[in-house]
């Protein structure tokens, strides 16, 4: 069965890291004879120039019938207002395709990282509600100003979404170190975070062999620095997960190394955890590791979904090739003290994939 994968380079450094990722994807497709149909398309400023919108219903419908997609970073802060075509591709795909789980691993690379302590953990971040204003209301924004001097924001937490992300986290813990950490601020947000924690505990009752601990969000920020090795699977709400996963990735080595997969019931989106970095765009300086590893996560997810062992093996091969390159200072990008540019690093990983 041919699997359809839509690719969209995005803004800023997006085209460069997408090209480098393409080198690796082409190599792994050839080595493992993967039956993938790549369907290039656009979003962000390139689509705005072509179709008058940074994201379009046409692209969304194309994604609905795909098996997965790879999206480059968005430069949403510089998009025009929504009424002038400035639609947020990440937010719209997560909401419209119900990509409820944002899965973000953080794993240290020897010789890199700020804590010099081992870290091998993964965040399961609820992706469809929480403090994000564009995901809190059926109509309009969850952030509003009744007067010029008063700003309000609505946070939405539901039992259904909380239980769903918790179950995904516990399922992942079964094949890891069998520990789940739920992060919240239940001592202050007693109703909303209280509901989230109640939902997590309900799911935990179905997994008696997996340890559950609850950590307050501000304590978690400190513990990631002090004792990251004590954590395995972390489940939390949208905003907390966004902030803490960035912290963990930077502590592990660099945000440029951090992969990310947005998962729904029938489709997944690979996307670098970092932004579009317009200040270095077009200079061959960007580290493409995050998007390359995100692509590998997509292959692994597709392999499990379609019971295709070759996709899983392909994903592991990409991860090993990246690890080999990062372990050798001679094959690192400039941000990690090496000398390779974006294209050269992508080609180096592709060459290792080819064997």
Q: Which two tokens stand for residue 58?
A: 């046409």
> From CA 278, how far away is CA 215, in angstroms rounded?
36
Cβ-based neighbours of 201, under 8 Å, separated by 6 or more: 212
**What three-state secondary structure class fits 328?**
coil
Containing 290, the helix (H) or strand (E) segment is: helix 289-305
Q: In the annotation, is 240 catalytic?
A: no
Nearest to 11 by CA among 267, 247, 260, 274: 274
> Looking at 132, 193, 232, 240, which residue is catalytic?
132
Cβ-based neighbours of 9, under 8 Å, separated by 6 or more: 15, 18, 19, 42, 46, 72
Q: In the annotation, is 242 catalytic?
A: yes
> Looking at 67, 193, 232, 242, which residue is catalytic?
242
**Helical axes 342-354 vs 289-305, angle rounded to 10°:** 40
The residue count for the chain: 355
Q: Which two tokens stand for residue 135?
A: 């995901």
Q: In the annotation, is 206 catalytic?
A: no
Q: In the annotation, is 185 catalytic?
A: yes
> Looking at 246, 284, 335, 351, which residue is catalytic?
246
H and E: helices and strands count for the chain? 11, 12
> From CA 57, how far away is CA 244, in angstroms rounded?
32
> Looking at 185, 193, 308, 352, which residue is catalytic?
185
Helices (H), 140-237: 159-174, 192-204, 217-226
> Looking at 35, 206, 218, 328, which residue is catalytic?
218
Containing 11, the helix (H) or strand (E) segment is: none
Q: In the annotation, is 132 catalytic?
A: yes
> From CA 283, how far away is CA 129, in angstroms rounded?
36
- Indicate which residues carry an active-site annotation: 132, 185, 218, 242, 246
């Amino acid at each position: 069965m041919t699997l359809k994968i839509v690719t969209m380079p995005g803004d800023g450094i997006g085209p460069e890291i997408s090209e480098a990722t393409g080198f690796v994807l082409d190599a792994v497709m050839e080595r493992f004879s993967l039956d993938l149909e790549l369907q290039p398309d656009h979003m962000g400023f390139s689509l705005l120039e072509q179709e008058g919108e940074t994201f379009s219903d046409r692209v969304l419908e194309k994604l609905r019938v795909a098996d997965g997609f790879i999206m480059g970073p968005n430069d949403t802060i510089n998009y025009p207002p929504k009424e002038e075509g400035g639609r947020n591709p990440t937010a719209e795909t997560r909401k419209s395709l119900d990509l409820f789980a944002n899965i973000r691993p953080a794993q240290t690379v020897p010789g890199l990282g700020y804590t010099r302590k081992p870290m091998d953990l993964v965040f399961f971040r609820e992706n469809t509600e929480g403090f994000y204003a564009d995901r809190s209301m059926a109509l309009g924004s969850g952030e509003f100003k009744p007067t010029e001097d008063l700003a309000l924001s609505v946070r939405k937490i539901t039992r259904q979404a909380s239980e769903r992300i918790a179950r995904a986290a516990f399922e992942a813990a079964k094949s890891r170190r069998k520990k789940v950490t739920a992060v919240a601020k239940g001592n202050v947000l007693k109703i909303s975070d209280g509901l989230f924690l109640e939902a997590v505990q309900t799911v935990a009752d179905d997994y008696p062999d997996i340890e559950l601990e609850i950590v307050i969000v501000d304590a978690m920020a400190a513990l990631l620095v002090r004792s990251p090795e004590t954590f395995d699977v972390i489940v939390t709400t949208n905003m907390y997960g966004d902030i803490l996963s960035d912290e963990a990735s930077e502590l592990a080595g660099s945000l440029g190394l951090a992969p990310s997969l947005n998962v729904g019931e029938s489709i997944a989106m690979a996307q670098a955890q970092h932004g579009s970095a317009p200040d270095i765009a077009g200079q061959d300086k960007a580290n493409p590791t995050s998007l390359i590893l995100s692509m590998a996560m997509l292959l692994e997810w597709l392999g499990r979904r379609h019971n295709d062992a070759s996709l899983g093996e392909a994903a592991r091969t990409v991860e090993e090739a990246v690890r080999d390159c990062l372990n050798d200072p001679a094959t690192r990008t400039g941000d990690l003290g090496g000398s390779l540019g974006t294209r050269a690093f992508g080609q180096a990983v592709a060459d290792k994939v080819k064997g």
